[in-house]
C-alpha cells in the first residue's frame, strides 16, 4: 500500500499511508479508536475506494480495487462481528459463495470443509448447524470460510474480544499453524500482551497517519502506548481513599435465570468488581438488578430499604443505571444522533405535555459532551460513525443524564484503545469520588484488580468468594472462578 489517502465529509480518515505486509508474517496494526485502522482495511479489501494512492497485490498495482478483485488475490477479512448464517451447517457456511454448478453435493461440501479444518488442526462437526456452536467455534468457522477461498492475506479484527482464556489459547495455536503454512496475517487488537506474544512486526497509526513500523521483539509496551496516544499516560488505575461503609445497593439470596442465592453489596463511593468465567452469571446478575431479567427469589435493597424493580424504566427512576456489555446492540441507537442518544432515557426531563424540549436536549448534549470529552464534529453526528471509545462515552452520558447513583458497568472497556480506556477509568473514579456506587463486570483481569476496591467472584451462577483489595491475587481469583476451591 503506497500513499493511501481516504477522506469523508469533513474528516481525513487516512492520510498518505504506506505499508507492506510480508508473506508468512503476523503484522499487528494498532492505534486508538479513530486512528484509521478500519478504513485502511476497508481500502485493502475493496469495501472502500481510496481517494489517492496505489495498492499492490501479488505485484499487481491497483488504484481502485473491488471486493471481488481483492478476494481473487487471496485477501479475506474476519470482522469482530460474526458473519455467518445460523440456519446453515458449518460446511454450508464454509463453502458459501463457491461456484458449485446446478446441483449441490453435500458430500463434497462436507469433505471440503473437513479438509480445511484438518489443515487448521481443529476437530469440528461440519454437519452441525452454526446456531448450535459457541462464539469461539463460530469464529473458527469464519477462519475456515476464509481459507476455503484460498486466503493468502488474512485480516483478524479483534479476534479474541469474545473469547475465554482457553479459547484464546486455541486461536493462537491455529494462528501459528496458518503462519507455518505461509499465510500472512494482519492482526488488529487493543490487547498489547497479545501483540507481543504473536506478532512479528507492529505498525502504529495515529489520527489517520502512519507513525512507525517496528519489529515487535525490539520494542516494549510503554513505547507502543506513547506512539499510539502521542503522550505519556498517567497512572493507569487512579487511586482513591474516600470509600465509605454505607451500603447503597445490596442483594440478599437473589436468584435469577442463572444467579443462585447471591449476596453482594456496593457501598457509597466504592468500585466493586465482579469476576467470573463466561457463563458464570455476571451479566445475568446485572440485568436482574436493573430489572431487565426477572428476579425469581431473594431480595434487593436500595439505600437500606427493600425494593422490587419491575423494569429497566423503574430502575432508572430509582437511580440505577446499566452500561451494557454490547453497547452497539443494547446501549445506544446507532443511527440516531449523539444528542438524542444522551436524552432518550430521560424523557420526563426533556418533554412537557407530550412535546420534546429541543433546547433542553441540546443543553444536555453539550453538557455531557464537554464533561466526558466526547470527540465529534457535531452533536447531530450519528453514533455509528463514532469510535468505540466515544460510543461508550455516549452510553455513559445517557446513564448520567438520568441522575443514576448506582452504575453497573458490564465490560466497560471492551474493544476500545488504551487512551480511551484511561479516560473511562478516570471517569469511573470521578463518579465514585462523587459518592456513586459502581459495580464493574470485566473479563480483563488486570482491569478488575486495578480498578476494584473489593472483588466478588462468581462460578456457575453462585458466589464463590469475596476478596478485599489487600487479598487480590490473580491465581486466587482464577481458582475461585473455575471452582477449584
Q: pLDDT tens digit string along 301-328? A: 999 999 999 999 999 999 999 988 877 7
pLDDT of residue 275: 92
Domain 247-481 class in CATH: alpha beta
Predicted pLDDT at 485: 60
Rounded (10°) angle between helices 388-400 and 358-372: 120
Query: What pLDDT does 297 receive?
Result: 95
Question: For the chain, which residues make up each domain, given as ranges?
Answer: 2-229, 247-481
3 contacts 16 by C-beta, under 8 angstroms: yes
* 459 within 8 A of 277, measured Cβ to Cβ: yes
Between 37 and 239, name the one with better pLDDT. Answer: 37
Mean pLDDT value of segment 185-209: 91
Give the pLDDT mean for 162-170: 75
Residue 65 main-chain phi, psi, to 5 deg = -140, 140
In a 10 Å sphere around its CB, with 0-12 CB exposed, 13-18 middle and 19+ buried, how is residue 81 labelled?
exposed
Instruction: Say whether pLDDT at 235 is over 60.
Output: no
Compute the radius of gyration of the chain from its Cα atoms: 24
Residue 234 has pLDDT above 60, yes or no: no
**pLDDT tens-digit series, residues 454-467:** 999 999 899 999 99
* Beta bridge pairs of residue 391: none
Question: What average pLDDT does the chain have?
Answer: 87
User: Do 2-229 and 247-481 agree at the fold level?
Assistant: yes
* pLDDT (0 to 100) of residue 232: 58
Which pLDDT tens digit goes with each residue over 117-149? 888 888 889 999 999 887 778 888 988 888 888
Which pLDDT belongs to residue 80? 74
- pTM above threshold 0.85: no
CATH class of 2-229: alpha beta
Tens of pLDDT, residue by residue over 270-304, are 999 999 877 789 999 999 999 999 999 999 999 99
**All cell numbers assigned to 38:** 478500519
Q: What average pLDDT does the segment 199-219 reach?
A: 94
Q: pLDDT band for 484, please (50, 70, 90 cuts).
A: low
Amino acid at each position: 500500500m503506497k500513499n493511501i489517502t481516504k477522506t469523508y465529509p469533513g474528516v481525513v480518515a487516512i492520510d498518505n499511508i504506506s505499508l507492506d505486509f510480508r508473506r508468512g508474517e503476523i503484522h499487528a496494526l494498532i492505534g486508538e479508536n479513530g486512528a484509521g485502522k478500519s478504513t485502511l482495511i476497508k481500502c485493502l479489501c475493496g469495501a472502500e475506494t481510496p481517494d489517492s494512492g496505489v495498492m499492490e497485490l501479488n505485484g499487481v498495482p491497483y488504484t481502485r480495487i473491488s471486493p471481488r478483485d481483492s478476494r481473487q488475490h487471496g485477501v479475506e477479512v474476519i470482522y469482530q462481528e460474526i458473519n455467518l448464517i445460523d440456519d446453515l451447517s458449518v460446511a454450508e457456511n464454509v463453502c458459501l459463495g463457491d461456484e458449485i454448478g446446478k446441483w449441490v453435493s453435500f458430500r463434497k461440501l462436507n469433505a471440503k470443509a473437513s479438509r480445511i479444518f484438518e489443515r487448521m488442526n481443529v476437530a469440528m462437526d461440519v454437519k452441525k448447524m452454526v446456531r448450535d456452536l459457541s462464539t469461539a467455534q463460530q469464529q473458527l468457522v469464519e477462519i475456515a470460510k476464509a481459507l476455503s477461498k484460498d486466503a493468502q492475506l488474512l485480516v483478524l479484527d479483534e479476534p479474541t474480544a469474545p473469547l475465554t482464556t482457553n479459547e484464546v489459547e486455541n486461536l493462537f495455536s491455529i494462528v501459528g499453524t496458518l503462519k507455518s503454512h505461509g499465510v500472512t496475517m494482519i492482526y488488529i487488537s487493543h490487547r498489547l500482551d497479545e501483540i507481543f506474544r504473536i506478532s512479528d512486526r507492529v505498525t502504529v497509526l495515529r489520527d489517520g497517519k502512519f507513525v512507525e513500523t517496528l519489529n515487535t521483539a525490539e520494542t516494549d509496551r510503554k513505547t507502543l502506548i506513547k506512539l499510539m496516544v502521542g503522550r505519556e499516560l498517567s497512572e493507569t488505575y487512579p487511586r482513591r481513599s474516600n470509600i465509605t461503609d454505607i451500603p447503597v445497593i445490596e442483594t440478599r439470596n437473589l436468584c435469577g435465570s442463572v444467579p443462585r442465592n447471591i449476596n453482594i453489596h456496593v457501598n457509597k463511593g466504592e468500585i466493586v468488581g465482579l469476576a467470573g468465567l463466561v457463563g458464570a452469571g455476571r451479566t445475568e446478575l446485572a440485568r436482574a438488578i436493573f430489572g431487565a431479567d426477572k428476579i425469581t427469589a431473594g431480595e434487593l435493597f436500595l439505600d437500606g430499604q427493600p425494593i422490587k424493580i419491575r423494569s429497566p424504566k423503574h430502575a432508572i427512576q430509582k437511580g440505577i443505571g446499566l452500561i451494557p456489555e454490547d453497547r452497539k446492540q443494547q446501549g445506544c441507537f446507532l443511527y440516531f444522533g449523539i444528542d438524542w442518544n444522551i436524552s432518550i432515557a430521560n424523557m420526563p426531563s426533556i418533554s412537557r405535555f407530550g412535546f420534546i424540549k429541543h433546547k433542553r436536549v441540546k443543553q444536555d448534549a453539550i453538557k455531557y459532551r464537554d464533561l466526558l470529552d466526547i470527540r465529534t464534529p457535531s452533536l447531530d453526528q450519528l453514533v455509528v460513525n463514532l469510535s468505540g471509545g466515544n460510543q461508550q462515552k455516549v452510553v455513559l452520558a445517557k446513564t448520567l443524564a438520568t441522575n443514576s447513583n448506582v452504575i453497573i458497568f458490564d465490560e466497560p472497556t471492551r474493544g476500545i484503545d488504551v487512551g480511551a480506556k484511561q479516560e473511562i477509568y478516570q471517569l469511573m473514579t470521578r463518579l465514585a469520588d462523587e459518592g456513586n456506587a459502581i459495580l464493574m463486570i470485566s473479563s480483563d483481569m488486570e482491569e478488575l484488580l486495578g480498578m476494584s476496591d473489593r472483588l466478588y467472584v462468581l462460578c456457575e451462577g453462585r458466589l464463590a468468594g469475596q476478596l478485599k483489595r489487600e487479598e487480590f491475587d490473580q491465581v486466587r481469583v482464577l481458582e475461585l472462578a473455575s471452582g477449584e476451591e
